[in-house]
Structures are given as C-alpha cells and as structure tokens.
Chain A
Amino acid sequence: QKEVEQNSGPLSVPEGAIASLNCTYSDRGSQSFFWYRQYSGKSPELIMFIYSNGDKEDGRFTAQLNKASQYVSLLIRDSQPSDSATYLCAPRDDKIIFGKGTRLHILP
C-alpha cells in the first residue's frame, strides 16, 4: 500500500513568512498526490492536487513534486494565522492511507 512520511511538527512560522511542509514516499508507483488541511476539531479538506513533476500554484499555495527524489512539498507564502492547521499529504489511490500529518502554527 502507498504510504508517506511527514514530520509531525509542530512547525512554527512567523506571520508573513513562507511555510514549507515536506512529505516523502517510498512507493515509486505513486504518481500523484493530494494535500489536505485539517483544522482542529474539523474534517480534512482538499487544498491541492499535483500529478506531474514540478510546481503547481494556487493562490498563496504551491505544491511541488519530485518523482526522482520521491518527495512532495507544500509551500505557503505570506503565512497567516488562519493557516494554522494540520496538513496531510496523501498519495492518490483508491484506498488512501494517511500519515499523521504536520502541525503548522503561524505565530502572529
């Protein structure tokens, strides 16, 4: 099954700075990835989907995929306190096995 590794954090980033979240995977068969954001006490919500090598940008969010090195990252520019949440990286699969995610804390 396809699994990922993420640093559980917490990752503390000053407001306005760039937050960088990383995810590594071992299954070379994983071709595409989702990034989910989960606020405390809430359900996860999909924020990004990336399926090709390189960068994908959506507003303040940029997802990066490097298939040769088997890592996925999420950059959040101009971090806001509202970005404080747990971020989950997940390989696209018919049955998604999630890691624990990375807790991000934006310092006002």
Chain B
Amino acid sequence: NAGVTQTPKFQVLKTGQSMTLQCAQDMNHNSMYWYRQDPGMGLRLIYYSASEGTTDKGEVPNGYNVSRLNKREFSLRLESAAPSQTSVYFCASMEPKRGYGYTFGSGTRLTVV
C-alpha cells in the first residue's frame, strides 16, 4: 500500500545513546516532516524538508539532526538521547502543489531511560 513507512515502531534507549529514525514515502511527495507528540500536547514540528536537498528547523529542533537522503527518505537522528526526548515521533509527507494535506506514518514510540 502507498504511504509513509516509519521504522522502528518502538525503541528504548539509554541516556546518551544515539539512534536514527527512518522514514520513507512512495507517493512522490516533495515535502517531508518530523513531528513529536508528548502526552497532553499537540504535534510539534521538529524539522522539515520542503524538497530534496533542503532542510529547515521547526518549533523544537534542539537535540536533533535530519537528513533528506533522496526524494523518498527523510531520517531523524538523536546524537545523544535525553529523557526529555521520550515521545512519539511522526513522520509525514505532502505534495504542496496538490494541497491534499499530510499523510502520516504510523509513528515511532521512543523511550529514553
């Protein structure tokens, strides 16, 4: 099925460890996004990529890095995980020219202990 695929679905990290969250879409969308969602909070934008080769900071970029590897893939890296980064992470993609809104991945539930 066409859509946005995120891996892994669950992850537990120790403080200070690093990891990369993977996201891939097969809808030929130009724009891709990373959000985090904490309990009782809305979705907060971490980073986004308007097109292949470009990335920009969102509302809460500190502690994260991203790579737009190609048009399909947009990864999110935590270099030194902290308990405050415990959250559910959602990747999304959109084709701005079509205006259909985001398609979200199923999310990665990350716990940092």
Contacts and interface: CB of A to CB of B under 8 A. Distances in A.
Interface of A: 32, 34, 36, 42-46, 49, 51, 88, 90, 92, 94-101
Given A44-B43, A97-B45, A92 B101 contact: yes
B45 to A, nearest CB: 6
**Most chain B beta-carbon contacts within 10 A, residue among A32, A51, A98:** A98
A94 B102 contact: no
Contact of A46 (B44, B50, B102): B102
B43 A88 contact: yes
Contacts of A51: 99
Given A43-B106, A99-B42, A49 B50 contact: no
Interface residues of B, number: 25
Contacts of A95: 33, 45, 48, 50, 56, 58
B107 A46 contact: no
Interface of B: 31, 33, 35, 40-45, 48, 50, 56, 58-59, 90, 96, 99-107
B101 A46 contact: yes
Contacts of A97: 45, 59
B106 A100 contact: no
Contacts of A94: 31, 50, 96
Contacts of A101: 42
A31 to B, nearest CB: 10
Contacts of B45: 95-97
Nearest to B103: A46
A44 B96 CA distance: 18
Given A32-B99, A95-B58, 13 more contacts: A34-B101, A36-B102, A44-B43, A46-B101, A46-B102, A46-B103, A49-B101, A90-B101, A94-B50, A96-B33, A97-B45, A97-B59, A98-B43
Contact of A43 (B42, B50, B56, B104): B104
A90 B101 CA distance: 9
A98 B102 CA distance: 12
A98 B45 CA distance: 8
B100 A46 contact: yes
